Amino acid sequence: MDWIRQRTDSIDGLKEIQCADQHTGGNALEVMEEAGALFTVSYPWTQFRSSNGDEITPLVGTGVNAGMALNKYVVRDDTDEVLGIHSGTFTESGSYHFLGEMAERMFPNATTSCTVFDNGERVALTQDIGGAIDLGDGDAIKPQLVWTSSFNGQWATKVHDLVHRLWCMNQLISGTALFSVKHTKFHDITFAQRAGIIEAAVSRAQIVATQATIMKDQSFTDQMFTELTRELVPFPPKVEGKEWHAKAVNLVERKRGAMTAKWMEECEHWSPDGPGNKWLAYNAVQGAEQHQINAQFTSSEVAAQRSLTKAINGKAPLADKALALLLA
């Protein structure tokens, strides 16, 4: 993967910390097994009990699918939990094994984590695919991939690019999939597909690195950050003759407070003796949105999964708006 090193080195002022081939992860299937993601499922037909007590299975009445079940469940074999419901013609897949197999064939021994959502309704795999890019002063970002799939139909089987900031664990996930497949088919990943995914992911990391370099050179004061939070999270329009609802005011203040706390943390670590900069401001907003706001200000495992779900779905309106304002 020398070409990745060459592309990274082409950015003026940026340095590669780690070669793209030096993965820190493990085998995708082993990571999935450890996370409890390789359970099997069955697809029983849906039924209902008639008024006289008979079990009735609704069937397709006409056409090429006549006689098939109208709908069927997806049920975990080990717990009997229902993970989803689909039409009777939905093509079945017995487990998430296919996802790990594809990920491992594409990037061997590169999987860093596996998250199982809602008892297995959805799953996400994260992989390291490139060396970290040094932004200076010990700050660095790294290109990664996120593979997603689901039994409940919420997520198609896709690959998203991810830019991971190493210090604060912020994850910038693209809402546009780099690669999409049907989970019912085995896919022999071609070299061209693999190279295309790498190029797209590394290219986005380079864009973020260039933006970071620009923003790091522009100072940003506490007052400027306060004004930014007010623009990002304004109070709702006030109705004449009525006071703001206390709940709405509290939510605005909590969001602003979360961003301000992150800003102070960023400045204390990276710029303790002087003003902050726009890169720190952006990360303060992005970090607060990802770790506090999207998690609804709680720190449970469910909240963490909710936060990651929104990131994978490309829902980061505060960070997106902040980036546009800071780069304007």
Reported as a single tens digit per residue, the pLDDT across 100-117 is 998 998 889 999 999 999
Residues 30, 137 within the same domain: yes
- pLDDT number for residue 180: 78
Residues 262, 203 within the same domain: no
Out of 1-15, 127-141, 255-269, 272-286, which region has the weakest mean confidence (pLDDT)? 1-15
Cα–Cα nearest to 99, from 146, 43, 165, 144? 146
- pLDDT number for residue 196: 84
* Token pair listed for 80: 């009997």
Would you say the C-alpha torsion 210, 262, 177, 175 has a positive or negative sign?
A: negative
Contacts of range 265-272, beta carbons closer than 8 Å, 24 or more positions apart: 266/168, 269/167, 270/137, 270/139
- pLDDT for 203-257, tens place per residue? 888 999 999 999 999 999 999 999 999 999 998 887 776 777 788 889 999 999 9
Residues 154, 303 within the same domain: no
- pLDDT number for residue 84: 95
Residues 180, 304 within the same domain: no
Among 213, 245, 270, where does a domain finish?
A: 213
Chain centre distance of CA 104 = 19
**Residue 258 in 3-state DSSP?**
helix
Residues 102, 174 within the same domain: yes
Q: Which range marks the domain in which residue 101 is found?
A: 2-38+95-213
Out of 140-144, 222-226, 289-293, 310-314, which region has the weakest mean confidence (pLDDT)? 310-314
Report, as an integer, the average pLDDT of 288-313: 81
Contact between 280 and 270 under an 8 Å Cβ cutoff? The reply is: yes
Residues 199, 263 within the same domain: no
- What pTM was computed for the model? 0.80
Residues 318, 223 within the same domain: yes
Report, as an integer, the average pLDDT of 146-162: 90
Name the average pLDDT for the chain.
84
Report, as an integer, the average pLDDT of 186-201: 72
Confidence of residue 90 (pLDDT cuts 50, 70, 90): confident
- pLDDT number for residue 58: 86
- pLDDT number for residue 14: 36
- pLDDT number for residue 9: 33
Contact between 148 and 176 under an 8 Å Cβ cutoff? The reply is: no
Residues 300, 224 within the same domain: yes
Residues 138, 20 within the same domain: yes
Among 155, 182, 213, where does a domain finish?
A: 213
In the predicted structure, residue 183 carries a pLDDT above the cut 60: no
- Sequence-distant (6+) residues with CB within 8 A of 279 are 135, 212, 215, 216
Alpha helices in 125-245 (DSSP H): 191-216, 222-232
Confidence of residue 11 (pLDDT cuts 50, 70, 90): very low
Residues 72, 183 within the same domain: no
In the predicted structure, residue 17 carries a pLDDT above the cut 50: no
Contact between 58 and 88 under an 8 Å Cβ cutoff? The reply is: no
Residues 209, 226 within the same domain: no
In the predicted structure, residue 1 carries a pLDDT above the cut 50: no
Among 213, 237, 253, where does a domain finish?
A: 213
- pLDDT number for residue 131: 84
Q: How many domains does the chain have?
A: 3
Residues 22, 109 within the same domain: yes
